[in-house]
Amino acid sequence: MDSWKLEYRCFNPQQQGLREALCTLGNGYFACRGAAPEATADDVHYPATYIAGCYNRLQTEIAGETIENESLVNAPNWLLLSFRIEGGDWFNLSEADILSYHQQLDIKQAILTRTLRFRGPAGRHTCIEQRRLVSMDQPHLAALQTLIYAEDWSGAIEIRSALDGHIVNAGVERYRDLNNLHLKSLTAESVTDDMCWLEVETNQSHIRIAQAATTRFWRGDKVIGLKPRVDRLEGSISHLYKTELDANQPLRIEKIAAIYTSRDHAISEPGLEARKAVAQSATFEQLAGRHILLWKQLWRRFDFDIVHEDAEEEDRTEQILRLHILHLIQTTSPHVMDLDVGVPARGLHGEAYRGHIFWDELFVFPLFNLRMPEITRALLRYRYRRLDEARRAARKAGYHGAMYPWQSASNGREESQHLHLNPKSGNWIADNSHLQRHINAAVAYNVWQYYQVTRDMEFLSFYGAEMLLEIARFWASLASYNEELARFVILRVMGPDEYHDAYPDKDQPGLNNNAYTNLMAVWVLLRALDLREILPTQRFSELCQTLNLSKEEFALWDEISRNMHVPFHQDDHGHDIISQFEGYQELAEFDWEGYRNKYGDIQRLDRILEAENDSPNRYKVSKQADVLMLFYLLSSEELDELLTHLGYSFEYETIPRNIDYYLERTSHGSTLSRVVNSWVLARANRPGAWALFTEALNSDVADIQGGTTPEGIHTGAMAGTVDLIQRCFTGIETRGDVLWLNPSLPEGLKSLNLNIRYRQHVLGLQMTTTCVRICTEPSAEQPIQIGIGGKIYHLKQGEVREFQL
Ligand code: BGC
């Protein structure tokens, strides 16, 4: 098995949606699903192209209400290329007599190949070989190369190459009752015999999208000029070429497409730039050469190497992790450094969650922090640009500071839907997920982690600190003092576990004192207070002036940070358990076995119970890790500090006890859940860690939720699995100006090698179960501090150190 390849050896219509998502190619500016070039959207195929940050809003009447949704727009389809032989039917995978089929995603080169052989009418055999790329070198370009061999016949062939702007967003079945026509056609024209272009505009956000494409033909090395018939339909343009195919003389067709939008920098207007880009473009081979070079450089930074005692296991793990890294880079490549975009939870790979940006960044950023932090910096600036909108949202809700939305897209308005469809019952139900205020802890945590890894003081001074301070202010205003408890409380929120949005007997949504939210709020307040010592004095006082921050306000933050309430209850053995929220212990235990027997797959218990006229709010059931998120984000030392600071006692055993308690009560309805569970268990249960890790690995390749991956990859779970190797098994923690290492390789894993960047140093890490070797590349950087086994060492540039464990 080649761990750099993802291969499929037959065409399987049921699997097509999944493969399209997994074979998506992208470069951070745009991405294109791995659909068949000749296909248009139907029950099997869903070709789609998504441009980062290209959103549009539409209204729909649903259940007597007008709702508005903002979606990442499916752009015109540049890929369309189909053919027919001697006036027969246009080639169609589902109807053709396929003799062999091979589809391969080359993970190293980010090139998708499809080779197929089929028998046409009169027993004629034809072979097609197609390669495509979305250029990492030139972010506006994509290319498709097609070779057609007539094996045992000669005759006429027609090729249609089109740009199709007659497109709607129809990638997610349960959104199909919602309006989905985002594009208005402006132009669709033929420019020359080999070039056409079109322009559309999104009908609310008024983003103009232009595409131009050239289609050129070769017989051997000889270019052949063909005169097309031009077909123009509403919003689309196609060139129809006719030529002769000789037996065993392949015809080569290259389609090069360019995409520009009115959001781009350094352009005159998108149409002109798109036409110019394709007119001047190199051939497929030349484009591929540069594209592969760029990917080679990226892999040098992002790759890793493991040795497992089971060689097959090793290959499979490396293959899936590399696939994950590929898709993450394709979603947020170095090209995002110059864009105003975030990380859509489902990548640029499908339409689930409408391309929105959630707290999933929390799982994605650690990978980029330690490999290419410039990318995280750009993504954090997406949040900074929406700080004013977050301030407005806080004010509108009666709070101070900045309240970031649970779902974010174009301008940072709250994009969570008010109603969502339960496909199981057909009911439209109130959606209270916007109450997940913990997104604000995630934004602050991400700022802090980025700073810890990079020590980028300029970023912290000018962007990060302002976000942190405003978020701290929000938490302080959300907290209220409870006389009876003599502590601060946070009321009417939702934690990460989306199964619980209200108390069973209450009409009003929200829960009180979600432990994760309360503790992370305290964590944010403490970090905001730390800024007093970290920021240059002048900058700190400037911020205090501009944000109108007083000593009294800091004093209040300090007081809240010492007196926040954290609910506890006891398990059957009388041990303390951190309650997911206040009152959790009153909820009924759930009949897990009964429901498993009845339904088999109970990952989406919320849908099952709603369809039964019941609600998860009544039970001790979690969709995903909630309390356990604390052990995921904070080391036991940090959690100890936090709880002690709050005057609660903490003993290490609390961690495994809570893990056991909540794992028994979690259905893993979110792919993030398995990542967190593997992570927290990996530290507590070395023998079991590998099994859990491999379970988390399968989330997308095996589409373990049964149908969600075709609607888009799960960027959080993909990054989380890579980060299990990167930070969890290595025990990497960046805290207090020290890079802590605390390796704990799971049973079976013999060694682990990776390169990371920490404070401008390039570090090579090699770990076995008994030894850690660290080397730094020569550079002009200051020494860094490495913490191993409780001791701190200074490491200079160019140094190599070995530590026995
Ligand atoms: C999860 C959230 C997540 C969202 C987007 C939901 O199913 O419950 O935690 O942010 O998906 O990935």
Q: Do domains 5-300 and 729-805 have the same CATH topology?
A: no
pLDDT > 90? residue 63:
no
Q: For residue 337, with 0-12 CB atoms within 10 Å meaning exposed, 13-18 middle and 19 or more buried, which class applies?
A: middle
Ligand-binding site membership of 505 (annotated): no
**CA 325 to ligand 1 center in whole angstroms:** 20
Q: Is the CB of 344 under 6 A from ligand 1?
A: no
* pLDDT tens track for 267-278: 999 999 999 999
Q: For residue 772, with 0-12 CB atoms within 10 Å meaning exposed, 13-18 middle and 19 or more buried, which class applies?
A: buried
Query: What mean pLDDT comes out for the span 708-719?
Result: 97
Query: What mean pLDDT comes out for the span 717-739?
Result: 95
Q: For residue 768, with 0-12 CB atoms within 10 Å meaning exposed, 13-18 middle and 19 or more buried, which class applies?
A: middle
Distance of alpha carbon 387 from the chain centroid: 22
Q: Which residues of 49-61 are buried (b: 16+ CB within 10 A; e: fewer)?
A: bbbbbbbbbbeee
Check if CATH label 2.60.420.10 holds for domain 729-805: yes
610 pLDDT tier (thresholds 50, 70, 90): very high
pLDDT score of 350: 98
- The ligand 1 atom at the shortest distance from the C-alpha of residue 670 is 7
Edge-to-edge strands, sheet with 236-245: 81-85, 155-164, 236-245, 229-233
pLDDT > 90? residue 234:
no
pLDDT > 80? residue 688:
no
pLDDT score of 695: 86
In the chain, DSSP finds a helix count (H) and a strand count (E) of 21, 33
Q: What backbone phi and psi angles, to 5 degrees, belong to 490?
A: -120, 120
Q: Is the CB of 499 under 6 A from ligand 1?
A: no
* pLDDT tens track for 428-457: 999 999 999 999 999 999 999 999 999 999
Q: For residue 341, with 0-12 CB atoms within 10 Å meaning exposed, 13-18 middle and 19 or more buried, which class applies?
A: buried
CB contact at 8 A, 68 and 415? no
The half-sphere exposure of 223 on its side-chain side, counting CA atoms within 13 A, is 6
- The CATH architecture annotation of domain 5-300 reads Distorted Sandwich (2.70)
pLDDT score of 212: 98
Two structure tokens written together for 176: 């199909």
pLDDT > 90? residue 794:
yes
Q: Tell me which residue has its CA closest to atom 5 in ligand 1.
A: 345
In this structure, the number of other CB atoms found within 10 A of the CB of residue 151 comes to: 12
Q: Tell me which residue has its CA closest to atom 1 in ligand 1.
A: 670
pLDDT > 90? residue 780:
no
- The ligand 1 atom at the shortest distance from the C-alpha of residue 716 is 12
How far CA 788 is from CA of 128, 733, 735, 791, 793, in Å, comes to: 56, 11, 13, 5, 8
pLDDT score of 779: 86
Mean pLDDT of the chain: 96
Query: What mean pLDDT comes out for the span 364-381?
Result: 98
Catalytic residue of the set 498, 582, 711, 733:
498
Q: Is the CB of 353 under 6 A from ligand 1?
A: yes
Ligand-binding site membership of 184 (annotated): no
pLDDT score of 686: 72
pLDDT score of 68: 96
Cα gap 525→531, rounded to integer Å: 10
Share of the chain above pLDDT 70, in %: 100
Active site residue 498: yes
682 pLDDT tier (thresholds 50, 70, 90): confident
Query: Which residue from 415, 434, 498, 632 has its CB within 8 A of the most atoms of ligand 1, so it is best to mutate?
Result: 498
pLDDT > 90? residue 685:
no
pLDDT score of 1: 85
pLDDT score of 64: 87
Distance of alpha carbon 149 from the chain centroid: 39
Q: Is the CB of 358 under 6 A from ligand 1?
A: yes
Ligand-binding site membership of 623 (annotated): yes
Ranges of each domain in the chain: 5-300, 729-805
